[in-house]
Amino acid sequence: MGELIPLFPLGTPLFPGVVLPLQIFEPRYRRLVHDLTALPESSDRRTFGVVAIRQGWEVEHVAPAAALYDVGCVARLHAVRSQPDGGFRIVTVGGDRFRLLDVVVGDDPPYLQGEVEWLGDEENAKDAGDGGDAQTSVDEASMTVLVRGVRDLFLEYVAEVAGLGVGHDDVEVATMLRAVAEDAAALSWLVASSALLTTEDRQELLAESATRRRLVTESRLLRRELTLLQTLGAVPVPLQQFAAPMTVN
């Protein structure tokens, strides 16, 4: 048996450390906000799980477990503002990742709940430094090169996308990159959440537990997207604004 948490299906994944503002208007999710805000502000239970909906599936018309991806990210409630119509505007931040084991549908509470197991971050043997001081230095150097390469590719990608009139400008991206400059994992999540990738690509990045492998995948994806942008002059997915920036803590 896994832990039971509230679920909030969305069209795209949430990533650790990423700010997610939401407008809550459906009655069942109004109930969810009421349930969360009834808990003490210091409670670590003021959270819900965000899971992406598989493309072409409607949660209401099929078994929810079949319509949802099996890896999600918990959203921690940071701010709540009541609206005149009874809804809410909330601000959340992505936390721990989880694997969805089962979906519970009921009348009370009216929102979906998920039985989940929590996913840790896998430390590669290379990153653990188990090969002695010399090997550790080599591995650290290779990670530094990888991080620099992904950062440079991302800046080039953003410049190309900005030329189409969408996304962050270069100054905003540079500010975000400075905030995560010393954190390879945070950089990987920033790229995963900000690049205009398909849900399938984003889900692949969310499910990857090792930062090094995630960065390697992002290097490949950014090169692919740059080739398409420079060849076709268009973003090969529906245009939308970049996700909210990473938190600095």
Give the highest mean pLDDT range of 1-5, 64-68, 214-218: 214-218
Number of separate helices (H) and strands (E) present in the chain: 8, 6
pTM listed for this prediction: 0.84
Q: What is the mean pLDDT of residues 187-200?
A: 92
pLDDT tens digits, residue range 102-116? 999 888 999 999 999
The pLDDT of residue 126 is above 80: no
Residue 162 pLDDT: 79
Report the range of poorest mean pLDDT among 149-158, 185-194, 236-245.
Answer: 236-245
Span 55-63, mean pLDDT? 58
- Under the banding of pLDDT at 50, 70 and 90, the label for residue 233 is low
Q: Where is average pLDDT lowest: 28-37, 82-91, 135-144, 229-238? A: 229-238
pLDDT in the model for residue 125: 44
- C-alpha dihedral (134, 138, 249, 222), degrees to nearest 10: -170
Contact 206, 15 (CB under 8 A): yes
Distances (CA, A) of 178 to 90, 123, 145, 197: 27, 24, 17, 22
47 is written with which tokens?
């959270």
Q: 1-5, 76-80, 103-107, 174-178: lowest mean pLDDT where?
A: 174-178
50 with 10: CB under 8 angstroms?
yes
Q: How far is CA 42 from the centre of its chain?
A: 24
Counting residues of the chain whose pLDDT is more than 70, the rounded percentage is: 78
Q: Tens digit of pLDDT for each residue in 5-38?
A: 999 999 999 999 999 999 999 999 999 999 999 9
Confidence at residue 18, expressed as pLDDT on a 0 to 100 scale = 92
In this model, does residue 143 exceed pLDDT 80? yes
Q: Which residues contact 170 (CB under 8 A, 6 or more apart)?
A: 155, 158, 159, 162
pLDDT category of residue 63 using cuts at 50, 70 and 90: low
Q: Is the pLDDT of residue 131 over 90?
A: no
Residue 172 confidence (pLDDT) above 90: no
Domains and CATH numbers, the chain: 3-119 (2.30.130.40), 125-232 (1.20.58)
Is 178 in a helix, a strand, or coil? helix
Q: Residues 56-83: what's their mean pLDDT?
A: 82
Q: Answer yes or no: is pLDDT of 94 > 90.
A: yes
DSSP for 89-110, written as a single string? EEEEEEEEEEEEEEEE--SSS-
d(CA 233, CA 94): 32
β pairing state of 71-82 and 88-104: antiparallel
**In terms of Cα–Cα distance, which of 235, 236, 96 is closest to 158?**
235
Question: Is 75 within 8 Å of 14 (Cβ atoms)?
Answer: yes
Q: Is the pLDDT of residue 61 over 70?
A: no
Residue 197 DSSP SS3: coil
Mean pLDDT of the chain: 84
